[in-house]
Amino acid sequence: MPSSSVTSVLAGLSAGVILVDEGRKIVFANPAAQERFGVELAGQDLVRAVRHPDCLQALEAVLERGGSAEATIVLQTPQRVTLQVSVAGVEPDETSGARAAICFEDISHVVAAEHMRSDFVANVSHELRSPLTSLSGFVETLKGAAKDDEAARARFLDLMEGEAQRMNRLIGDLLSLSRVEANERVRPMDRIDVVAVLRRVINVLEGQADTAEGSIRLDVPGELPPVLGDEDQLMQVFRNLIENGLKYGAAGGVVTVSAALLQGAAGHDGAVLSVSVRDEGEGIAAHHIPRLTERFYRVDPGRSRDKGGTGLGLAIVKHIVHRHRGRLQISSEPGSGSTFTVKLPVADGASPR
């Protein structure tokens, strides 16, 4: 066993540390390593605790030649975990026999962030490539076969305008998502009348409701307390949800927007304002619901693009609701429509007005 001062230092580390002797026998493991690999480590061969060949090869290299070595290993116990392994030789300790120190640092969050970044870039590239390819094809056609065809030129120009608008919506949503994420940790502090926000959004969307052959019904009590929030962002949340209800609801159906005061809700200490947007559409299968707020996730990609969706709307909603310290809940069954509910904490000291 190493000296008490050394063990005290190693015990305070969040990374797992194991000391082994020249025969790979474990002579010490700090609490983080015991939590990762088991509490009965002392006296065991390292291979019984860590069965990854890259880790063992790095250790063998250090025991044979000294110096240090590194490896990255992935464990599946029970969840997938990525560990950065650093092995370093230590001065021979006559008391403990320690010859090498192995440090295990959990870098799963770094790997996950890198995968998310890579996927995001790939998705953005794909979403932009499709309309750009279409635009290039239309331009080539207009310069060639349709050069002197007035009817074809008018039709292609309309199609080009639609593709340009699609790219503009995508870029707008990307910028909006970036702004929301940048400020997500800073809670907005303005006192907002949510019912007034809902009325404004519905007034703006009434023309769209006519186009979609649907209607919007607002169902709220006469008085509700304010919430702390950002009015523009809350308008964006409810506009996105109501627009989705109009786009994907049944033709001629009703999108019902309701609000109520709840004295308690899961995840909240006090009263919350609950706003639900329900459509009369086809509904969503259960396996899709947990992924609906992922960037670029679509239940029906073709239909979403035809409706002008960018695949970012619900991701923006999720981040805005999180910034407001609220919760987004989604419930749906195939054939029974869908309900999106936003729960926001009521402003301290507020009461219905």
Quickly count: other Cβ atoms within 10 Å of residue 129's Cβ: 10
What tokens does 48 get?
Answer: 């019984």
261: β partners: 273
In this predicted structure, the answer to whether residue 351 has a pLDDT above a threshold of 50 is no
225, pLDDT greater than 50: yes
Mean pLDDT over each residue of the chain, to the nearest integer: 85
Worst-scoring range by mean pLDDT, 4-8, 40-44, 171-175?
4-8
pLDDT digits (tens, 9 = 90+) for 300-318: 766 666 666 778 889 999 9
Q: Say if pTM beats, i.e. exceeds, 0.85.
A: no
Report pLDDT for 93. 66
What's the rounded Cα separation, in Å, for the pair 104 and 194?
49
pLDDT score of 211 more than 60: no
SS3 content of the chain, % helix, strand, coil (to 5): 45, 25, 30
In this structure, which topology does domain 4-106 adopt according to CATH? Beta-Lactamase (3.30.450)
Q: Give residue-wise pLDDT tens across range 226-259.
A: 999 999 999 999 999 998 888 888 777 889 999 9
Question: Tell me, what's the pLDDT at 307?
Answer: 63
Do the beta carbons of residue 315 and residue 179 sit within 8 Å? no
Confidence of residue 101 (pLDDT cuts 50, 70, 90): very high
The DSSP secondary structure of 198-262, one letter per residue, reads: HHHHHHHHHHHHHHTT-EEEEE--S----EEE-HHHHHHHHHHHHHHHHHHS-TT-EEEEEEEEE
Query: Are 70 and 29 contacting, i.e. CB atoms less than 8 angstroms apart?
Result: no
Closest alpha carbon to 316 in 297, 339, 333, 289: 297
The pLDDT of 187-195, averaged and rounded, is 92
Helix H or strand E encompassing 126: helix 108-143
Domain 187-353 indexed as CATH 3.30.565.10? yes
Buried b (16+ CB within 10 A) or exposed e, 177-199: beebeeeeeeebeeebebbebbe
Residue environment code for 281-298, b if the CB has 16+ CB neighbours within 10 A, otherwise e: bbbbeeeeeeebbbbbbb
pLDDT at 195: 93
> Per mean pLDDT, which range of 114-128, 192-206, 217-231, 331-345 is the poorest?
114-128
Tally of CB atoms within 10 A around 325:
17
CA 269, CA 326: separation in Å to the nearest integer? 11
Domain boundaries, the chain: 4-106, 109-182, 187-353
Start-to-end CA distance of the chain, whole Å, equals 69
Give residue-wise pLDDT tens across range 84-95: 999 999 887 666
d(CA 192, CA 170): 29
Q: Is the pLDDT of residue 353 over 50?
A: no
The mean pLDDT value for 57-77 works out to 90
Each residue's pLDDT tens digit, 260-284: 998 877 777 788 999 999 998 888 8
| Domain range 109-182, CATH architecture | Orthogonal Bundle (1.10)
Sign of the C-alpha dihedral, residues 95, 101, 106, 110? positive
pLDDT value of residue 276? 95
Report residue 303 as tokens. Answer: 């239909």
